[in-house]
Structure 1
């Protein structure tokens, strides 16, 4: 016997519900049929997935299988949706993922121009952090991605778009925003330096260490803005990210920090609609990146 996708779906439903009755109702099956499916799965594995027949607690193996099964179901469901979307899109589908700071600059202009050239084109655009964008490309869930840094991925083409300087971001009324000279690292740490997801791109060891050992790290950009806006915290970000923040925040050079964040575009070498991917690539390359290159200098 092989493990079928519906076996995994049944197992995940029961594990999440904590009982057969509720899971069976969600899946439109009878509890007895669901129980039989779980027994077949456990028989194939040779070990129990639940600690009792009540199905309320997972065994250590069950917890591990749940994590793997959820990931597999997400991938399977995504693939099914992608197949159906492609079949319904005569001129094709283009899937693009970008870091938020670039999505607002790239998406409106490029997608508008492509929509004019391909009236029946379907575009799926999303914003995510660089790691998630790279994962989507590797898994075939995106055709083109825009990320921070210069990652080299197997089967993925890359080009650099621009670079901008890192600097200190703080509330407009913060003492570090008002002083005449550029703040130093010690002053930033004393002011409550927040770590964030871009700190790994900083080359200066002292600055990177200060961010990595920060008492508080905030991966989410909106939460980061809210905390810095309170005036109780500061952080270090690239200049183009700071441009998107509210006027209540300011960007300042940090003494001793010269690191720059490179922004790259990535494209899978094998895409379902290569003409569309290449058209998007060329449109992005034609944007006025020279106006952004050197930002924060």
Structure 2
């Protein structure tokens, strides 16, 4: 089978537009040229991809092929973009995938130090959760990853720091008032007083109350800025590490429950032991506290 990328891109565009004329406007080609390419593609595949000649409805095979076409064209476009970025950045490039709290609390100082050493090197930061960090490293979309982990779990990568997990709540909310009444001698059960804004760090707290509230939560956010914004708006309370909230604006309170204290670790990870060279290795070495 001699399937070309152009066939996949043309087919995906026709499927998205629903008509040859619509695809013609997007691709800048005549409807007849697009129709001819689709016919060649279907001949290569060996079965129809559209239910009718109007191109508005896919066959079951067409839907499967569309999913694969989108994946293939997206991967190609990402590769081309990466090549262009590398070509423009003659001094090199460092790609970092990090959990949001590390992006807020850890990376600014590291970037500042790195830029003094390598001012011409391009730095790309992806702000994602730990699972996505690992996936980006696996797909070679990042050189260095920074993940959150529970202390005592099987070691992954190299520990950078550990800090306390605590409750972040609105300054005028029920949790704040209850915490003040107990004079700080409170536990994770205070989270029952407000809706929980869930996030992946909740999984690092070994407490049955938190586990139950995580399952029942109807609002989840994975970005530190979004979580704090939601807390300030009175949508509920959440769980964050101290480093993520210490420099945040007014309107929220953070405290570490006196009962069942929990910590998280930030760890730096890479694909292989000797996978880093040049600027990426220098950035890796700066990620220490």
**TM-score, normalization by structure 1:** 0.82
Cα distance change, pair 107–242 in 1 and its aligned pair in 2 (3 A): closer
Q: Find out whether 1:77 has 2:77 as its counterpart.
A: yes
**Compared CA separation, residues 184 and 125, structure 1 to 2 (3 A):** closer
1:196 touches 1:219 (CA, 8 Å); kept in 2? Answer: yes
Shift of 1:245: 3.8
The partner residue of 1:217 within 220, 227, 230 is: 220
Matched, 1:49 2:28: no
Shift of 1:44: 2.8
Aligned-partner Cα distance in 1 for 2:228–2:76: 36
> Out of 216, 229, 232, which is 1:229 matched to?
232
Can you give the 5+ residue segments of structure 2 that lack an aligned partner in the other structure? 151-155
Counterpart of 2:33? 33
**Mapped contact 2:157–2:268 kept (Cα < 8 A):** yes
1:14-163 alignment, distance < 5 Å: 14-149=14-149, 158-163=157-162
**Structure 2 counterpart SS, 1:87:** helix
In 2, Cα distance between the equivalents of 1:190 and 1:175?
Answer: 6
Does 2:180 align with 1:177?
Answer: no
Counterpart in 1 of 2:167?
168
Give the superposition deviation at 1:184.
4.0
Whether 2:242 is the aligned partner of 1:239: answer yes
Q: CA deviation at 1:265?
A: 1.0
The offset of 1:3, in angstroms, is 2.4
Alpha-carbon distance in 2 for matches of 1:114, 1:211:
38
1:218–1:275: structure 2 CA closer, same or farther, 3 Å change rule? closer
Distance 2:106 2:193 in 1: 37
Taking a change above 3 Å as real, the CA distance of residues 267 and 16 of structure 1, as seen in their structure-2 partners, is same
Q: Is the 2:105–2:244 Cα contact (8 Å) retained in structure 1?
A: no
Cα–Cα, structure 1 residues 16 and 257, in superposed 2: closer, same or farther, change >3 Å? farther
Hey, what's the Cα distance between the residues in 1 that align with 2:230 and 2:18?
Answer: 38
CA contact (8 A) 2:175 2:193 kept: no
> Corresponding residue for 2:194?
191
| Shift, 1:263, TM fit | 0.9
Change in CA separation of 1:38 and 1:203 when aligned onto 2, cut-off 3 Å = farther
- 1:139 deviates by 0.7
Distance in 1 between residues matched to 2:187 and 2:116, nearest whole Å: 49
Q: TM-score, normalised by structure 2?
A: 0.84
Task: Summarize the Cα distance change of 1:104–1:27 in structure 2 as closer, same or farther, 3 Å threshold.
Answer: same
**C-alpha separation in 2, matches of 1:134 and 1:33:** 43
Q: Map Cα deviations across residues 244-267 of structure 1 (whole Å, 9 max, x no partner).
A: 543201112235432322211122
* Greater CA drift, 24-33 or 210-219: 210-219
SS of corresponding position for 1:268: coil
Distance 1:6 1:117, change over 3 A: same
SS in 2 for 1:246: coil
Q: Match for residue 154 of structure 1?
A: none
**Number of residue pairs aligned between Structure 1 and Structure 2:** 280
Which residues of structure 1 form unaligned runs of 5+?
151-156, 290-297
Cα–Cα, structure 1 residues 196 and 273, in superposed 2: closer, same or farther, change >3 Å? closer
CA contact (8 A) 1:165 1:261 kept: yes
Match of 2:153 in 1: none
